[in-house]
């Protein structure tokens, strides 16, 4: 890991010019300066066990605000249902953004009216219509194919917020590939119900998913597909206990393919995902934000101005090489969870193992902000040490670390600055990088630290270097170009830190 004139994008070295182009693309799409906080355990495995939440959460959350900082979190649990052929149940927990289960389990119910022939049935994402009070829920239903594989479909249900019971309304989206041609999991996830203003001035409900199709006789997933229906028609049908036809986007401004089994355009081609994407509106960013797991270890963000085209370069927000991450959910921290604003939470299920294991699972949370346009303020950038190993951060260090040095970073970008990121190699080799991807796929993304000047505005600004002790696996930051001693490698200039005042 050396600093130099390269940045790793998607695992492939790219020159600095590619980095600058990517930043410009992100800025046009919504946010050029995401700030990612440290991972927090929102729901521990012990808490899941105490509340009887076996196999929970088995998908991304649907979230409704109850007022006063209290929320319902809706999602299926894999076990505990009353139907032997499909033992899932719908669970609603009540709590805060910091502690989604603070008030325990509010409801544990069975989906009502599900057609026969499905081996998995559960609900997640929700949309509450402000005019009628109707609450819609995305339903994920699976049929068995190819031995132990499944074929997923998206349906709609109507959730009764007073009882937590969801009643089946009807079918919405089926993969492009026919069920008899599927050879492995055709997974559509449990996408959010996202309101999008169409070019015709009509408000639509969108469902984003990775469609599955046949290409040269092989089953291939899309990077990103989308289906829609007019919002007012969806609500009117729900009042009658049914659904209206939805249509997939087929490209070129056309929505002319039936969502049930029709073909779809790949609106994010060449960018496969490991888990179903979630796309949520941010009015403050004037964009749609996609959160997606691109592997079992890594989660990224991307933005688009219209929710169809111009998706920005993916920005990595979480990577845990030793863990298995799934089911990411972006949730606004403001009064409307469906509007990310400039300050939102990312929740995801984490198995602290290389493979899924419901005997040890937890819900993680990362706070994310968009620092575009914020007034930069100084924040302490402190070097700590513990057992001869270093950590340099603007955050709070783990127990046992003692302070060893201090500088300053900016909290937001300004002309001539670049961001610094905290990364970890292995269990305890923390290092600072200018690469948001932390220079490889086997490193852990810890958090965004702040911004530093690329050139020296005046002699009051302090040069900071990244230093490495070879053979010991330890990195630190120093203001000395000789890294404070012999046998230590200077891996490059990070930038120039502003004076404390």
pLDDT tens by residue, 370-426: 999 999 999 999 999 999 999 999 999 999 999 999 999 999 999 999 999 999 999
What's the average model confidence in pLDDT over 457-475?
Answer: 96
Helices (H) and strands (E) in the chain, counts: 3, 35
Separation of alpha carbons 467 and 7, rounded Å: 18
Distances (CA, A) of 109 to 83, 136, 164: 11, 16, 7
Q: What is the pLDDT of residues 102-160, one digit of tens each?
A: 999 999 999 999 999 999 999 999 999 999 999 999 999 999 997 889 999 999 999 99
Instruction: Indicate the pairing of strand 40-43 with strand 34-36.
Output: unpaired
What's the helix, strand, coil split of the chain in %, to 5? 5, 50, 45
pLDDT at 29: 52
What does 408-459 look like in DSSP terms, one character per residue? EEESS--TTEEEEEEEEETTTEEEEES-TTTTSTTEEEEEEEEEEESS-SST
CA-closest candidate to residue 334, choices 344, 325, 324 = 344
What's the average model confidence in pLDDT over 43-59?
Answer: 98
Q: What is the pLDDT of residues 238-280, one digit of tens each?
A: 999 999 999 999 999 999 999 999 999 999 998 888 888 999 9
Instruction: Indicate the pairing of strand 149-160 with strand 247-248.
Output: unpaired
Separation of alpha carbons 468 and 481, rounded Å: 12
Measure CA of the first residue to CA of the last residue in the chain; give whole Å.
Answer: 33
pLDDT at 501: 82
What does 186-244 look like in DSSP terms, one character per residue? B-------EEEE-TTS-EEEEEEE--EEEETTEEEE-S-EEEEEEHHHHHHHHHTT---
- Average pLDDT taken over every residue of the chain: 93
pLDDT at 165: 98
Assigned token pair, 154: 């998206």
The DSSP letter of residue 123 is: E
Q: What is the pLDDT of residues 198-245, one digit of tens each?
A: 989 999 999 999 999 999 999 999 999 999 999 999 999 999 999 999
Q: Give the rounded distance of the alpha carbon of 427 from its chain centre.
A: 24
Q: Give the rounded distance of the alpha carbon of 57 from its chain centre.
A: 15
Separation of alpha carbons 64 and 140, rounded Å: 19
């Amino acid at each position: 890991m050396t600093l130099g004139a390269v940045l790793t994008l998607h695992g492939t070295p790219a020159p600095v010019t590619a980095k600058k182009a990517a930043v410009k693309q992100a800025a046009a799409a919504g946010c050029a300066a995401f700030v990612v906080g440290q991972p927090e355990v929102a729901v521990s495995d012990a808490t899941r066990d105490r509340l009887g939440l076996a196999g929970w959460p088995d998908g991304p959350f649907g979230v409704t605000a109850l007022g006063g900082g209290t929320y319902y979190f809706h999602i299926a649990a894999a076990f505990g249902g009353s139907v032997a052929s499909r033992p899932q149940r719908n669970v609603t927990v009540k709590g805060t953004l910091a502690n989604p289960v603070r008030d325990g389990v509010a409801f544990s119910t069975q989906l009502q009216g599900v057609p026969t022939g499905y081996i998995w049935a559960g609900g997640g994402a929700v949309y509450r219509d402000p005019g009628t009070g109707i609450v819609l829920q995305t339903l994920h239903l699976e049929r068995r194919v190819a031995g132990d594989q499944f074929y997923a479909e998206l349906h709609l249900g109507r959730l009764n917020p007073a009882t937590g019971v969801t009643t089946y309304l009807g079918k919405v989206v089926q993969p492009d590939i026919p069920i008899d041609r599927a050879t492995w999991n055709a997974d559509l996830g449990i996408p959010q119900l996202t309101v999008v203003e169409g070019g015709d001035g009509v408000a639509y409900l969108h469902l984003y998913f990775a469609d599955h199709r046949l290409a040269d006789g092989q089953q291939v997933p899309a990077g990103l597909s989308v289906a829609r229906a007019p919002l007012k028609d969806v609500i009117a049908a729900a009042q009658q206990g049914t659904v209206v036809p939805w249509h997939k986007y087929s490209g070129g401004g056309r929505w002319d393919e039936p969502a049930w089994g029709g073909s779809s355009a790949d609106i994010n081609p060449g960018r496969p995902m490991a888990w179903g994407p979630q796309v949520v509106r941010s009015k403050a960013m004037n964009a749609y934000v996609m959160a997606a797991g691109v592997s079992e270890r890594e989660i990224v963000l991307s933005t688009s101005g219209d929710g169809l085209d111009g998706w920005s370069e993916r920005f990595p927000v979480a990577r845990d090489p030793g863990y298995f991450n799934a089911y990411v959910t972006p949730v606004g921290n403001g009064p409307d969870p469906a509007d990310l604003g400039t300050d939102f939470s990312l929740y995801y299920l984490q198995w602290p193992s290389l493979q899924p294991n419901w005997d040890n699972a937890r819900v993680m949370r990362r706070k994310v902000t968009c620092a575009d346009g914020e007034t930069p303020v100084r924040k302490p950038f402190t070097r700590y040490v513990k057992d001869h190993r270093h950590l340099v951060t603007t955050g709070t260090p783990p127990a046992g670390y003692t302070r060893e040095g201090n500088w300053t970073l900016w909290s937001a970008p300004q002309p001539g600055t670049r961001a610094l990121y905290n990364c970890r190699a292995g269990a305890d080799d923390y290092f600072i990088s200018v690469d948001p991807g932390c220079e490889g796929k086997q490193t852990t993304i810890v958090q965004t630290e702040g911004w530093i000047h690329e050139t020296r505005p005046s002699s009051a600004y302090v040069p900071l270097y990244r230093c490495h002790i070879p053979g010991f696996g330890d990195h630190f930051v120093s203001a000395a170009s000789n890294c404070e001693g012999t046998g230590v490698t200077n891996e490059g200039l990070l930038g120039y830190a502003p004076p404390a005042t």
